[in-house]
Chains A and B, each alone.
Chain A
Amino acid sequence: MTDKPDEKHDEKHDEKVAGKAEGETDDKTDANESARPAEERNLEAAKAETGTGSGVEQPAPEKSPENVPAPTGEVRSVGARHGMFGVSGTGDTSGYGGLVAAKVFPAPSQKPYGGWFDEVAGALEARLEATELTAAIESVVVHRGEITFHVRREDLPFVAQMLRDDEALRFEFCSGVSGVHYPEDTGRELHAVYHLTSMTHNRRIRVEVTAPDSDPHVPSLVSIYPTLDWHERETYDMFGLVFDGHPALTRVLMPDDWPGHPQRKDYPLGGIPVEYKGGSIPPPDQRRSYN
């Protein structure tokens, strides 16, 4: 059991290496254009058989991508995890404190994304090309059967309008926006994540935009999805993300005069030590913990 951390670490490493290797083979097959599709199909069939890539969000036949998106070999690493047992300095005699493991998020996918994902991406791209906004979509990530469009923040209202109104897209229902703070994702620390549903086609996608901490502004989508009124207020309240164009961007959950934005990673959890029978237990964010 004690060698588990090492294993983990190696796995991470292997994954990275494997990712790179696959990317390389991709390049090679690219050169040999004619051999590529058949080989890819074989690979996909094998993956589908083992069930590793059955990225089915819901079992509805409309939604099941029959292909596995090919990884680009590009790795999106956000920060690193240091140590193992939350001990640093002199207390650490195990050596595990010296471990460094990269935090690797799913890499952008390449076409074909599989099933209806391609229809949505294709329809969206067609609309964007017509308006010369092809750069609006920074990347597309397909992971665990969910598709995420990373959209340039200045183009978000236009993209959202397309997604809602286009015949082939029809994402008429927005579940809300959820903020995420990645302090180590330099230049794109604040993420706003929208979940959109097309009730017409019974599909679900995710749209993600980012803003740097130094300029925490994202265009508001309240005029397109009125439901986002309170959701954007909540995200502003919790992350300090300013939604430009919101009719009344005020705090919604915290008191109006509250200092700071509580769900940012640099905002402490707070709490006091608990004393019991002579012992003192520090608050949760100051306890020694695995990382």
Chain B
Amino acid sequence: MTTEQDFYSAPGETSQGRVFTVTGQDWDSITQSIGESAEERVVVNMGPQHPSTHGVLRLILELEGETVTEARCGIGYLHTGIEKNMEYRSWVQGTTFCTRMDYLSPFYNEATYVLGVERLLDIEDDIPEKAQVMRVLLMELNRISSHLVAVATGGMEIGALTVMTIGFRERELVLDLFELITGLRMNHAFFRPGGVAQDLPPGALDEIRDFIALMKKRLPEYAALCNANPIFKGRLEGVGHLDLAGCLALGITGPVLRSTGYAWDLRKTQPYCGYEDYDFEVQTWDTADSYGRFRIRLNEMWESLKIVEQCADRLAGLEGAPVMVADKKIAWPSQLAIGSDGMGNSLDHIRHIMGESMEALIHHFKLVTEGFRVPAGQAYVPIESPRGELGAHVVSDGGTRPFRAHFRDPSFTNLQATSVMSEGGMVADVIVAIASIDPVMGGVDR
């Protein structure tokens, strides 16, 4: 359908040139009417509902023929006000909200928030070893599942559907592990200030070991399928170039920064959760393009698998160890257990607070309804999420709720590189460039 009137402009707003509103199945009439005019310059609005813009990302592209002369992002379509909502909940409830931000790496959102709260509480050194190991285990499994989606959707967007199907197949295995350990596939709210919500369930370590063995067979399949694939290389190599100076100026971190050859990984440079005790390598590449970022993600999955293996070994020796800080004024009082009707408060705990100890009941009630107070101040503990530096700026005024929690999400920052990565290139390469940033709109818009 062709029209002179732009339905999407504000009343009274003048749009220059002719406006085409494409509704599908009308390409013939579009090409015909474009053919009549000699003008090559077209402004294309892509999204926010385009399958290859990674969720609700809107791209405004100015094209000269097939060359992109200007690229701009429109974001905010998935803004949920999580940060504001967190100011109206207790410190513990905060994890339930922030886990929903970057939905492909929920454990990282929880981790950076929880680490910030723990710093303000001054209990960083009191977190039990087992809780830290479980956090690392879950985060690294999460890195694998997140990178799998990055590789899978990136492949799908350039037409490599097999990469997509096998990527999601393996991700499902990771989500099964999450479900086994936390009870949920996504939105876990499993990390709590002071530790983690509950201990590993019986049999979890065996499942993890089976998964590691399986992934060791399957990860090479990705390499065999993609690494030297001429079409894959043809689409990715040299696309979305951004050098080190550009990365630093634009605040880009994660695989995009490491694809310039700079080994900046917060797990190594500013370790948290005991990452200094694990043996792994920071992966870099020297091409500063989409292909390099793909290879980095593939290699990082190997490294994560190595860390997961070390975590499993350490956890085997930590059976029965506490997973929550010993301070009973902070630790969540109830223990969860599987009953005949599913997961719930353990019967032992219910018996204790309802039948044995009035003090325990009051204690439970106060901690659950009121929560604990966090000393006034502010903290920022960034961590290395699959997409780069993820940090929560946590401010407390001494109350039982966050005074302010701001998340510095790597997707939000990295998406600013869209223009520099895609201007001057072909329109088809815009998609590849954005896929190499791997933005998750839940994190961008929060």
Contacts and interface: CB of A to CB of B under 8 A. Distances in A.
Contact of A291 (B269, B270, B363, B399): B399
Interface string B358-383: 01001100100111010011111010
A284 interface: yes
A253 B380 contact: no
A8 B373 contact: yes
Contacts of B251: 173-176, 225-228
Contacts of A81: 397-399
Contacts of B380: 146, 175, 195, 204, 206
B270 A202 contact: yes
Nearest to B376: A105
Contacts of A143: 377-378
A178 B408 contact: yes
Nearest to A262: B84
Interface stretch (B43-51, B336-344, B388-396): B388-396
B404 interface: yes
Contacts of A231: 413
Interface stretch (B73-81, B101-109, B285-293, B345-353): B73-81
A125 interface: no
Contacts of B125: 51
Given A81-B399, A106-B376, A269-B84, A144 B119 contact: yes
A225 B249 contact: yes
Nearest to B73: A230
A180 B363 CA distance: 33
Contacts of B408: 175-176, 178, 195
B429 interface: no
Interface string A229-245: 11100100000000000
A35 interface: no
B280 interface: no
Contact of B376 (A2, A103, A173, A225): A103
A269 B250 CA distance: 32
A230 B89 CA distance: 27
Contact of A180 (B271, B362, B403, B445): B403
A145 B377 CA distance: 12
B306 interface: no
Interface of B: 75-76, 79, 81, 83-85, 87-89, 119-120, 122, 125, 248-252, 264, 269-272, 276, 359, 362-363, 366, 369-371, 373, 376-380, 382, 389, 391, 393, 395, 397-401, 403-404, 406, 408, 412-413, 415-416, 445-446
Interface of A: 1-2, 4, 8, 51, 57-60, 78-79, 81, 101, 103-106, 143-146, 148, 172-176, 178-181, 193, 195, 199, 202, 204, 206, 225-231, 234, 251-255, 262-263, 269, 284-285, 289-291
